[in-house]
Amino acid sequence: MGLTWPASVFQHTLMATDQLLPGGSIGPRMTMSVAARVTGPVDVARLDQAYDDLVARNDVLRTTMVTLDGGGYLQQVHPHQVVHLEKTDGHGVTPGQLADEWSRTPVPSDAAPLIRGHIAQLDDGDHVIGLTLHHLHTDPRSLQLAIAELGRLYTARVDGRPEPPPALQFGEYVEQRLTSVADRLDADRDFWRATMAGARPMALSPDLQRDWERKPSSGSFRVEVLDAEQATALERWARKNRTTMFGALFTGFSLAMADRLANRDVLVSTVFEQRDRPGTADMIGPFIHPALLRVQVPDGASWESLAPLVRDSVLNAYNRAHIPAIEVLGMHMDVLQEIAMRPAGLCVFQYIPAHVSDKPVPFGAAEALVVPSEEGGPTGDVGLMFRLHRLPTGELMARVTFDERDLNEPLARELFGEFADRLAEPLAAARS
């Protein structure tokens, strides 16, 4: 079989979910992409070699998943084979158009490499490069890191010097992390059994009915939630109340959704990025951990009274995110079955901090700037998703995705609007 490593929590979750809903979690469209405009002289042949170096030195880009007999999954690293950038005619198109086109490149998850590289020349000394990776093997921050590493490898090629190999591979990191929590697993599973006892998917509207005759399809819209000044003010409120930006946003979400729920019991899925081990800050890989969050909102709760409860819920989930969310749901089959059957049964709440730098990335004598993207990555098959994304310029944007069998856009906008309205309360307090 060759070199193998344990599956990460995220990879385990996608693979297990695919067993329940085939194709949606690991299909060839489950990709993430990044594009950068390179201004200045570029030796395309050496850039092509640098792209090959990128794939050769990062095992995770040459990794497929193996399903074990009796359950469980492994990462299988494949030997490197030479890869090349795919060339696109860039005349008459914008960098944004190229980025959008490349983002739709399918990447099968069952054959290495799990990446596609692109290059287009707009004019003399003006190129756009793009990378599209399968989500099984990357996360939002890794996209920027891949562009930065490609720049370093290209510069090394131009200078005629070797780039030192990575100190750690993603598979090694996963094995180290799993070993470090091995003696906690039983206690952490007990925590999740107790935390999820009596939980139910949120019934956000009593009138929701699933159209079982309709094929699954997703609707979505994008909206600015807070401008840069407002987002900074909410950050200040979060620090003052000893929580994080994620904690503040989820406090507002919990207050808004609790008002719609008879039991005021908020249950969502989320993801945490965990790059807290040495050597992981600059690594490419899926350093994200899907987890469940449950907050039982007391009657009459305010921002100040609920924030500590949310903070504790988030911290407890973060510290136990090595137990896959799909495994946690498997401990409560009644909840899992109701999620599958109830309209908008799976609600996802995510916050992605700004991870794209506005500083140029050196490419030899040239410089690259990441092309802004309106997409935050694939959403998979979900009932309702609020994906909040902080831009490098400070604004807080949201992409709302919903299952069109369950929700229409006016209701999805109404739900999101109730959450956004709640965010005005701490901002008003900060101004007073």
3-class SS of residue 368: strand
Cα–Cα distance between 97 and 90 in angstroms, integer? Answer: 10
35 and 99 both lie in a single domain = yes
Q: What is the pLDDT of residues 336-359, one digit of tens each?
A: 888 777 777 778 999 988 766 678
* Domains identified in the chain, total number: 2
- Return the percent helix, strand and coil in the chain, to nearest 5: 40, 25, 40
pLDDT reported for residue 376: 47
Enclosing domain of residue 153: 4-173
168 and 199 both lie in a single domain = no
262 and 167 both lie in a single domain = no
In a domain, 178, yes or no: no
pLDDT reported for residue 350: 94
Per-residue pLDDT of the chain (432 residues), as tens digits, is 579 999 999 999 989 888 876 666 788 878 899 999 999 999 999 999 999 999 999 999 999 999 998 778 999 999 999 999 999 999 899 999 999 999 888 899 999 999 999 999 999 999 999 999 999 999 989 999 999 999 999 999 999 998 999 999 999 999 999 999 999 999 999 999 999 999 988 988 877 777 778 877 788 899 999 999 999 999 999 999 999 999 999 999 999 999 999 999 999 999 999 998 888 999 999 999 999 999 999 999 999 999 999 999 999 999 999 999 989 988 988 888 887 777 777 789 999 887 666 789 999 999 999 987 655 455 455 689 999 999 888 999 999 998 888 888 999 999 999 999 999 999 987 676
286 and 394 both lie in a single domain = yes
- Tell which of 127, 150, 173 closes a domain: 173
Cα–Cα distance between 431 and 339 in angstroms, integer? Answer: 41
342 and 303 both lie in a single domain = yes
In a domain, 362, yes or no: no
- 414: phi then psi, degrees, rounded to nearest 5: -65, -45
128 and 222 both lie in a single domain = no
Separation in Å, CA 7 to CA 11, 245, 289, 350, 383: 6, 30, 12, 23, 26
261 and 346 both lie in a single domain = yes
124 and 191 both lie in a single domain = no
188 and 127 both lie in a single domain = no
In a domain, 155, yes or no: yes
In a domain, 365, yes or no: no
How do beta strands 384-390 and 347-352 pair? parallel
Q: Extract the runs of DSSP E, i.e. beta strands, from 274-395.
A: 288-296, 347-352, 361-363, 366-370, 384-390
Task: Please report, to the nearest 10 degrees, the dihedral formed by the alpha carbons of residues 306, 390, 348, 217 taken in order.
Answer: 150
Cα–Cα distance between 4 and 17 in angstroms, integer? Answer: 21
In a domain, 386, yes or no: yes
In a domain, 403, yes or no: yes
In a domain, 127, yes or no: yes
- Tell which of 173, 194, 219 closes a domain: 173
Q: Is 54 left (phi over 0), alpha (psi -120 to 50) or beta?
A: alpha
Angle at 336 between CA 203 and CA 288, to 5 degrees: 95
Please report, rounded to a whole number, the percentage of residues in the chain having pLDDT higher than 90. Answer: 70
21 and 152 both lie in a single domain = yes
153 and 231 both lie in a single domain = no
Which CATH number does the domain housing residue 228 bear? 3.30.559.30
Q: What is the pLDDT of residues 232-250, one digit of tens each?
A: 999 999 999 999 999 999 9
Which CATH number does the domain housing residue 136 bear? 3.30.559.10
In a domain, 364, yes or no: no
3-class SS of residue 218: strand
Q: Tokens 């409560």 sit at which residue?
A: 332
User: pTM value?
Assistant: 0.88
- Tell which of 173, 203, 228 closes a domain: 173
Cα–Cα distance between 54 and 80 in angstroms, integer? Answer: 11
Sheet holding 126-134, edge to edge: 86-89, 115-123, 126-134, 31-39, 366-370, 361-363
207 and 284 both lie in a single domain = yes
